[in-house]
Chain A
Amino acid sequence: MADSHAQDIDKHVRTYIIVFVSLMALTLVTVAVAFIEMPVWMAIAVALFIASVKGSLVACYFMHLISEKKLILVTLIFTVFFFVGLLLLPVFTHMDAIEL
């Protein structure tokens, strides 16, 4: 029992190292891509896509969300919903502009 537990942790540690190397590589990709000439909307989309991949790696593996209990995942689904709503508020203000 104790042996299988230790093996589990060894497996975890190997995953952490892989995630660490991936995060480092993606950081360099983020910087490299930022210096390539492209339209602003495309630069924003690419940068946010890479940041989302990096963020997901941190959340899933370092924060163990990939094997977390349902209650926490449900709480986070609500959080994401309200977070997206918050980010869309500026867009809604443009829809409601007063015509002069």
Chain B
Amino acid sequence: MDIPYVDAPRADTGLTNGKLGIWLFLASEVMLFGALFATYIILRTGSIDWPLGRDILNVPMATLNTIVLISSSVTMVMAWASLMRKDLGKFRLFMGLTVMFGFGFLIIKYFEYSAKLHHGLLPSTNNFLAIYFTLTGLHAIHVIGGMAVNAYLWGPGAKLWKTRPEWFTNRVEYAGLFWHFVDLVWIFLFPILYLL
């Protein structure tokens, strides 16, 4: 049986089911991260002595990671635009770059984490590090999840382009929405954890 409304919008919603689905999922993700942001606020306002993020964390590395993630958002949207121009080659190039930027982000994060652990700065050290590892760890899991989907669409998933190009373009758009959301979360995590 064919999945309905994958390439044409439903008459009542004006949307494909996938588009509405991904936005509802992102709404639930906002609440997931929202709960942890609220936790951060309650920990910080309830503490007598809250450390300044930049005294403990590596700001240049995090700035570089912000640049990497923003770049990956641009290559992601360019991958989608390439499909809109019916250019699968360009799509492959931009999607490949997006996955590589994702890897770059994780490698930088790995160096950051290992330096902290090496200096004995663990989640159990204090509340600041506990919420830092929780928020950035959850975010890194999202990066890995997004990369898995993007890599699938770059590789075996791209077969769909031959038979149902509109459906494939929509899939790339939904994966992009998730990827941009991951970027958006980092845009807030960066100043909150590293700079303030």
Q: Which residues of A are at the interface with B, using a C-beta cutoff of 8 A?
A: 5-6, 9, 12-13, 16-17, 19-20, 23-24, 27, 30-31, 34, 40, 43-44, 47-48, 50-51, 54-55, 58-59, 62-63, 69-72, 75-76, 78-79, 82-83, 86-87, 89-90, 93-94
Whether B38 contacts A87 by the Cβ 8 Å rule is yes
* A-B contact sample (16 more), CB < 8 A, given A27-B67, A40-B196, A62-B74: A16-B74, A17-B74, A20-B70, A30-B195, A31-B59, A51-B187, A58-B187, A63-B176, A69-B15, A72-B15, A72-B23, A86-B38, A87-B38, A89-B42, A90-B42, A90-B45
Q: How far is the CB of A64 from chain B (nearest CB, A)?
A: 8
Given contacts A34-B191, A47-B191, A75-B24, contact A16 B42 (CB under 8 A): no
Whether B14 contacts A69 by the Cβ 8 Å rule is yes
Q: How far is the CB of B78 from chain A (nearest CB, A)?
A: 7
Stretch of B95-103, B115-123, B177-185 with 4 or more beta carbons under 8 angstroms from chain A: B177-185
Q: Is the interface of A mostly helix, strand, loop or mixed?
A: helix
Chain B minimum-CB-distance residue to A50: B191
CB-defined contacts of A75 to chain B, threshold 8 Å: 23-24, 27
Instruction: Give complex CA distance A59, B35 in Å.
Output: 21
Instruction: Give complex CA distance A13, B75 in Å.
Output: 11
Whether B195 contacts A79 by the Cβ 8 Å rule is no
Given contacts A20-B74, A34-B195, A44-B196, contact A72 B35 (CB under 8 A): no
